[in-house]
Amino acid sequence: MSFGESLQALRKEKKVTQEQLASHLGVSAQAVSKWENGSFPEGDLIPKIADFFSVSTDYLYGREGRRASIEQQVVNELSSVWRGEGTFDDRKKVYIDKVHRLLWAMQISSWKNPIDYYDRPQHEENSARMSSAVSFDTGYTFMRLDKFKDCFLFLRQPEEDKGFERWFRDTTEVRKFFGMLADRDNLKVLGFLYTLGIGELASLSTIEKATRVPKEKITAMLDFMVCSIGRDGESPIVEVQLVGNDEDNQKAYGVNMTLGGLFVGIFALADSYVHSPQGYSMQSNSRTRSWVDRSKLGECR
């Protein structure tokens, strides 16, 4: 395929007119028409054309296949970890480290001006609390930069010009949930359960002995976690029925390893709010709209 044929095919695929491409490149529509019919643009325009269509310059000249999308490149890069060297545990660490660097790359790329990648700063416990935030009308990200209290949040702005009012309206179950977490004894029980490894379970007597919380209160808390939170699907707490004569220990409990991280995330975000940042290593803020549409807020239920 010739340069002109490649250019025309890419333009039509992207549904861009000759005039629109010309405006982006700062040339006339007649120039684009000539390129598609056999002539060539000036050399410094070639990279701009390639970047506009997310292809390589060699692709424009028909010398190589099309460059994979950035999403596919990420998939290829991360999936290659599992074909790498080392133990499975080594590769899991490499995988998470790569994802972490990608999240930081998202933060620093929010600036309009091009910037070279640099490693994420890691602030020690005795340092000022530093974070990174991107606050646009289209979404929000927050990345805590404490070395041992790291967390990341990504919120995409709801489509159809909606705000986040739904999170403020339907709060009945959420308020019950936070009420449960506000009780110190309940946190003791939850903290103990989180010390259990995969496949490990603890009876009521074991939990009572470890936490010194009355068995009745433990039962009420666990029933709430299993029945109220998990009634529409999986619960963060695993409940297993035991066979035996001990009526006080007919059930055992553990942590759902798939959902378990959500609890840690809740505490990490809450701590980030309570101990708010003292500064930002990277901040992009161009949000102009309110977080919530007052006309759609209604009453909190």
Instruction: Give the residue extent of every domain in the chain.
Output: 3-67, 78-168+271-285, 170-262
Which pLDDT value is given to residue 254?
Answer: 94
Sequence-distant contacts of 144-147: CB under 8 A, at least 24 apart: 144/268, 144/272, 144/277, 145/120, 145/121, 145/281, 146/122, 147/122, 147/123
Q: What SS3 state is found at 142?
A: strand
Which pLDDT value is given to residue 95?
Answer: 95
- Identity at 70, one-letter amino acid code: I
Which pLDDT value is given to residue 270?
Answer: 94
Residue holding tokens 């010194």? 212
Q: What SS3 state is found at 64?
A: coil
- CATH label, 170-262, candidates 1.10.10.10, 3.40.50.1100, 3.40.50.1980, 3.30.420.40: 1.10.10.10
d(C-alpha 61, C-alpha 110), whole Å: 32
d(C-alpha 256, C-alpha 55), whole Å: 44
The string of DSSP letters for 251-278 reads EEEEE-TTTHHHHHHHHHHHHHHHT--S
Which pLDDT value is given to residue 66?
Answer: 64
Q: Do domains 3-67 and 170-262 have the same CATH topology?
A: no
- CATH label, 3-67, candidates 3.40.50.720, 1.10.287.540, 1.10.260.40, 3.90.1570.10: 1.10.260.40
Per-residue pLDDT of the chain (301 residues; tens, 9 = 90+): 789 988 999 999 889 999 999 999 999 999 999 999 989 888 889 989 988 888 888 888 887 766 667 787 888 889 989 988 889 999 999 999 999 999 999 999 998 777 888 999 888 888 899 999 999 999 999 999 998 888 999 999 988 767 888 888 878 888 999 999 999 999 999 999 999 999 899 999 999 999 999 999 999 999 998 887 766 668 889 999 887 766 666 889 999 999 889 989 999 999 999 999 999 998 999 999 889 888 888 765 5
**Strand ranges, E, within the chain:** 130-136, 139-145, 150-156, 202-203, 237-241, 251-255, 279-285
Which pLDDT value is given to residue 70?
Answer: 79
Is the distance from CB of 233 to CB of 226 less than 8 angstroms? no
